[in-house]
Amino acid sequence: MEKKTIVNPLLEIRNIETYYDLIYAIRGASLTVAAGSVTAILGNNGAGKSTILKTLMGLIEDQPDKGTILFEGNRIDGRDTEDIVCRGISYVPEGREVFEELSVRENLLMGAYTRRDRDGVRRDFERIYDYFPILADRTHQWAGTLSGGEQQMLAIGRALMSRPKLLCLDEPSLGLSPILVKEIFRIITQINGEGVTILLVEQNARMALNIADTGLILENGRFVMKGPSRDLMDDPNVQEFYLGMQSETSAKGYQRWKRKRRWR
């Protein structure tokens, strides 16, 4: 994949710290997302990946505690979520969060809430149904009764409806079938090709690093590794813990007693 040169950072997170009440979740993380790039954040369970995105979206009240977030050069930390969204960031939350008692169609409509151009919205409807044909079949079904994967598609589709500048995805491939995982990543690349910047949190490290320009690894609320995704893929530690290479030959008994290694 062609390396994109860093033109100007679309999003810049500087040294943010986030607390959940007394739990210190993000311990000073900085990150720059270049316009037009795909950035992937990897990390273990509980590392704080989702928290970074939530902080960015202004979803955690009174947070970040310290640090600044710049979007297109303007400070957005401490602002209302609605405001941040209107500036052109859209977000696929962890756990889908669809509107359960609205139909699929209405969910998508809500995604386009900030938009005024009716024709564009109609075209985007087509586009989403194109990406995910099964959603078209379920147009009038309540989103709450969709299958897990369908809900995930809906959440992604909904986020795409707003035509964002920056798209933040929290584990988009969660619960999707292999064919769809591929499809999702293909769509992400395609959207990226259309000029949308992508910030991606993924467990599926291989796929994520495959399409990302930059990768970051989060441990315990701090970034422990940053770099072009190629470099990360070649790193032995990353290979062992995130890409699962070493365990290819794994057998019972060996893995069980394996010590959990962490960068600390």
Partner 1 sequence: MTFFSIDNLAIAFGGLQALQDIRFDVQAGEVFAIIGPNGAGKTTLFNCINGIYRPDAGNIRFDGRNIQGLRPDQVARLGIARTFQNIELFANMTTMENIMLGRHVFMRTGLFRGAAMWGPRSFAGREERDHRRQVEKIIDLLRLQAVRGKLVGALPYGTQKMVELARALALEPKLLLLDEPCAGMTAEEKQDMIFWIKDIQNDLGITILLIEHDMRMVMDISDRILAINFGQPITIGTADEVRRHPEVLKAYLGEEDHRESAA
Partner 2 sequence: MIDFIQMLINGIAAGSSYALIGLAMVIIYKTSEVPNFAQGEMALISTYVAYMLLEQHQFPSYLAFPLSLVFAVVLGCILEFTILRRAKEPNVLGMIIITIGIEMILMGLVSWKFGAEQKSMPFPISPYDSVMIGDFFVSTLEVLTLVVALCTMIVLFLFFRYSRLGMAMKATQQNPMAARIMGIRTRRILMATWGISSLVGASAGLLLSPVIMQPYMMWDPMLKGFAAAVMGGMTSLPGAVFGAYLLGIIENLFGGYISIEFKSVVAFAVIVLMLCIRPSGLFARHYVKKV
Which residue in 65, 75, 100, 254 binds partner 2 (CB under 8 A)?
100
With beta carbons less than 8 A apart as the criterion, state whether 217 and 43 touch: yes
Distance from CA of residue 102 to its chain's centroid?
24
Q: Could you tell me which stretch among 139-147, 195-203, 221-229, 253-261 binds partner 2 (CB under 8 A)?
A: 139-147
Polymer length of the chain: 264
**Looking at residue 61, what DSSP letter applies?**
T
Instruction: Decide if residue 55 touches Mg ion (CB under 5 A).
Output: no
Near partner 1 by CB under 8 A, which window of 65-73, 103-111, 114-122, 133-141? 133-141
Per-residue interface string for the shown chain with ligand ATP, residues 13-42, x marking contact by CB under 6 A? -------x--x-x-----------------
CB atoms within 10 A of CB 140: 9
The distance of closest approach from Cβ of residue 110 to partner 2 in the complex, given in angstroms and rounded to an integer, is 5
Give the nearest distance from C-beta 153 to ligand ATP in angstroms: 9
Backbone angles phi, psi at 5, to 5 degrees: -75, 145
Residue from 2, 5, 45, 61 in contact with partner 2 (CB under 8 A): 61
User: What is the spatial distance between Cα 29 and Cα 42, in angstroms, rounded to a whole number?
Assistant: 13
CA dist., res. 27 & res. 53, Å (int): 14
Residues within window 161-190 making contact with partner 2, judged by CB under 8 A: 162
For residue 124, the minimal CB distance to partner 1 (Å) is 21
With CB under 8 A as the contact rule, the residue among 104, 180, 184, 208 that binds partner 1 is 180
What 3-state DSSP class applies to 212? coil
> Across the chain, how many H-helices and E-strands are there?
10, 10
Among 15, 66, 72, 142, binds partner 2 (CB under 8 A): 142
Binding residue count for partner 1, defined by CB under 8 A: 45
CB count in 10 Å sphere of residue 78: 11
| Kind of pairing between the strands at 214-219 and 38-43 | parallel
Question: Contact positions toward ligand ATP, by CB under 6 A?
Answer: 20, 23, 25, 43, 45-51, 94, 138, 141, 145-150, 175
